[in-house]
Amino acid sequence: MRVLTGIQPSGRLHLGNYLGAIRQSVALQAKADDCFYFIADYHALTTVTDPQALRDAVHGVALDFLAAGLDPEKVVFFRQSDVPQVQELTWLLSIVTPVSRLELAHSYKDKIAHGKEATHGLFSYPVLMAADILLYRSNLVPVGKDQKQHLEITRDLAVKFNMKFGETFVLPEGYIPDEVATVPGTDGQKMSKSYGNTIPLSGTDKEVKKAIMGIVTDSAPVEAPKDPETNTVYKIYKLLAPPEKAAEMAEKFRAGGYGYGDAKKELLRAYHEALDPFRERRAALEARPDDVRDILAAGAAKARVEADKTLHAARRAVGLE
């Protein structure tokens, strides 16, 4: 069973990325026979236009995954653009891709509705994603709700190609982890860089404190009983703290006499207890940038070997070899 997943280096990762994706990806390495994890820098070019910002973001994502426990001995960990075969496969898949299918892509329509320029890169994004998945003959692809359609498109393109040119690609299955946390941001919406409501993973202690103490709350007085399940501070706290500690905070809110300021201080303590070991490992890795580059280079070399097998099969299928 081969698992493949990728993450865009579109900026500094945050607590929501860690709880919602990084932990689950690292845990999968113990369950799967084979894992290919990549940093999707080609995809990031649809949103990141500053070259140095992209380089920094790629390095930052690598640091985050390695600090979280990703083992390069168990996982093929690489940068997408270090495997150029993915671009040729994207073209080969494009010849069986109906324009109408891409026009219906939710992600494309959403981005255009929010003012993004309708570029070819944004429009053909699902074809590149399909090439990412099919190039490594992936069996399972962890997906969230926002990516399910892209996996459906990948399967559709693989079927079309196989029917037209002969059996070439493995059909991947979606995998939804048992416990994928939806992490609220400091304003109560889903934590997202787009909303500017994040709690940083790699920020300074001052930045972390500012974000947590700035969580938006209602105007209920200290003495009033409060419903913890509608409380952003508590929702984030229970994702970080041990269950018994979360239960204690919930009871304090229900009883009254417990203010949001005290709850935020408790959340700050829980953040450091849960994440300081990660932050220390990350700082140590950050001091050894060559080691991180070597890990990505070694992963890319392994990925290219697998990519060549699939690409040659696809080239033979269409008559280029």
CA–CA gap between residue 76 and residue 279 (Å, rounded)? 23
Question: Does the annotation mark 190 as catalytic?
Answer: yes
Question: What's the chain's length in residues?
Answer: 321
DSSP state for residue 190 in the 8-state scheme: B
Question: How many C-alpha atoms does 123 have within 13 Å on its Cβ side?
Answer: 11
Active-site residue, selected from the candidate residues 74, 160, 193, 245:
193
Question: Does the annotation mark 160 as catalytic?
Answer: no
Question: Does the annotation mark 111 as catalytic?
Answer: yes
Please name the amino acid found at residue 126: P
Active-site residue, selected from the candidate residues 31, 74, 109, 111:
111
Active-site residue, selected from the candidate residues 190, 210, 245, 265:
190
3-state secondary structure of 100: helix
| Beta-strand relationship, 173-175 and 75-79 | unpaired
Nearest alpha carbon to residue 108 among 68, 69, 139, 150: 150
Nearest alpha carbon to residue 236 among 275, 277, 281, 282: 275
Query: Which residues are marked as active site?
Result: 111, 190, 193
